[in-house]
Structure 1
Amino acid sequence: MTQTAHDPGGKVRLRLPDGVVGGARFSKCGQYRQALTRDWTPKGAAPRTVLFVGMNPSVADAAASDPTCHRELMFARDWGFTRYLKGNVLDWRATSPKDIPHDPAIACSAENIPELVEMAQQAELVVLAYGKLHQRYAALVREAVSAIASTGRPLKCLGLNKDGSAKHPLYLRKDTRLQDFPMPR
């Protein structure tokens, strides 16, 4: 029996900007993406790294981006970073939030939060940008944010939604300023 490749949905795949080298780490089954990287550090220079933490991964991989990752990369470049890391509270690949499994134990693999911590340790700062997640994932959000905060890296966001979640960056203005992220109670 042949296993078909996991289709996360969305069809928008964007070319990486010139000079940007991409990388990605997926589960063996292809349903999960724990890490995405983009590096444009000049030769001989030390990288300046930022980690964005979103809701869940979509179609971006080592060779192509999706609209959210492309937007975050543009923010990172505008802020003077030369290396962009991307992780997510949930690592199940789906373009539409309605396609994320309802069971939090399936929506977030056991490898995800340790990978978020590892990436946070490499970053100068962490930008939380996961948007409004369904309440059933609240415990995972708290666990992920707490684990990332334990690294001591500054936690930032691009604003807060009414429910206290970090705003999703896709539709925010290019000049949106970073602000401190208040730890959820």
Structure 2
Amino acid sequence: MHIPTQDTARQPIRPFAQALAEARLPHEDYDVSRWLYVPSMYCDYRYILGTAGQKPLICVGINPSTAAPNDLDNTLKSVERIALGNGYDSFIMFNVYAQRATRPDDMEKECNPVLHRENMAAFRWALEQTRTGAPAVWAAWGTIIEKRPYLAACLRDMIAIGEELGARWYSAGARSKKGHPHHPLYLRKDCTLDDFDVAAYLEQSLPLL
């Protein structure tokens, strides 16, 4: 369980580029040639957790919890299974907002623009890791996107970056009545990915928030 002790605006935020450079240095707790973990130390925010590869599936949730290299939670275990089962050689777990909070109700009330800016730099970097074909992005935030008004605005920025870099969006499992994509946790092990019209979702579902 991770409960934020204070808003991220009151904390120093490592720029993504700096945190990425640090994450590539040898680490005593895990193999940096296999794991992507940015920042590389446990703190109140996380940009990326995943594995290295040439063809990653980029899964997008709402916000990170306690998972770390060699210590994936059930959500991340499901993400890895589905990525490998659908022909990807690796996965990158990303989130609409980077603040750690096991319970989304504990997320800060206001968006920290510095944290959001660096999180978008992380998303751009993640998309650029696909070596062949279009970057594959799995929308997996569920109805939790309704927890904070700023989450929709953060997602809009992500969608714009995805359009710029030619990302292809997918979802897995049934969508909610409002069209929100399914969370990864309770999906079948053999679940396949479906094309997700993120532009239509932006117009039809996000204006409701």
For structure 2, the 5+ residue unaligned runs are: 4-32, 204-209
Distance change (3 Å), C-alpha of 1:121 and 1:90:
same
Conserved in 2, the CA contact under 8 Å of 1:89 and 1:108? no
Of residues 8, 17, 20, the one that matches 2:2 is 8
1:177 matches 2:192: yes
Quote the Cα distance in structure 2 between the aligned partners of 1:113 and 1:163.
25
Distance change (3 Å), C-alpha of 1:107 and 1:58:
farther
For structure 1, the 5+ residue unaligned runs are: 1-6, 10-19, 42-46
Q: What is the CA distance between 1:106 and its match in structure 2? A: 6.7
- 69-78 or 121-130: which moved more? 121-130
Conserved in 2, the CA contact under 8 Å of 1:130 and 1:168? yes
Query: Residue in 1 aligned with 2:43?
Result: 30
Conserved in 1, the CA contact under 8 Å of 2:47 and 2:122? yes
Conserved in 2, the CA contact under 8 Å of 1:130 and 1:167? yes
Conserved in 1, the CA contact under 8 Å of 2:78 and 2:187? no
Quote the Cα distance in structure 1 between the aligned partners of 2:41 and 2:68.
14
Conserved in 2, the CA contact under 8 Å of 1:23 and 1:61? no
Which structure carries more strand by proportion? 1
Within 5 Å, which residues of 2 pair with 1:128-167? Answer: 128-132=139-143, 133-134=145-146, 136=149, 137-158=151-172, 159-167=174-182
Query: Residue in 2 aligned with 1:48?
Result: 55
Quote the Cα distance in structure 1 between the aligned partners of 2:190 and 2:41.
38
Quote the Cα distance in structure 2 between the aligned partners of 1:144 and 1:126.
11
Instruction: Return the letter of the residue paired with 1:34.
Output: Y
TM-score by length of 1: 0.78
1:131-173 Cα distance to aligned partner (Å, 9 max, x none): 1212512211222222223210211111432222221111122
Q: In structure 2, the residue corresponding to 1:141 is in which secondary structure?
A: helix
Quote the Cα distance in structure 2 between the aligned partners of 1:54 and 1:117.
16
1:68-109 Cα distance to aligned partner (Å, 9 max, x none): 111000001111222111110011011111111111227953
1:18-39 Cα distance to aligned partner (Å, 9 max, x none): xx93231028882110011224
Distance change (3 Å), C-alpha of 1:69 and 1:29:
closer
TM-score by length of 2: 0.69
Conserved in 2, the CA contact under 8 Å of 1:101 and 1:107? no
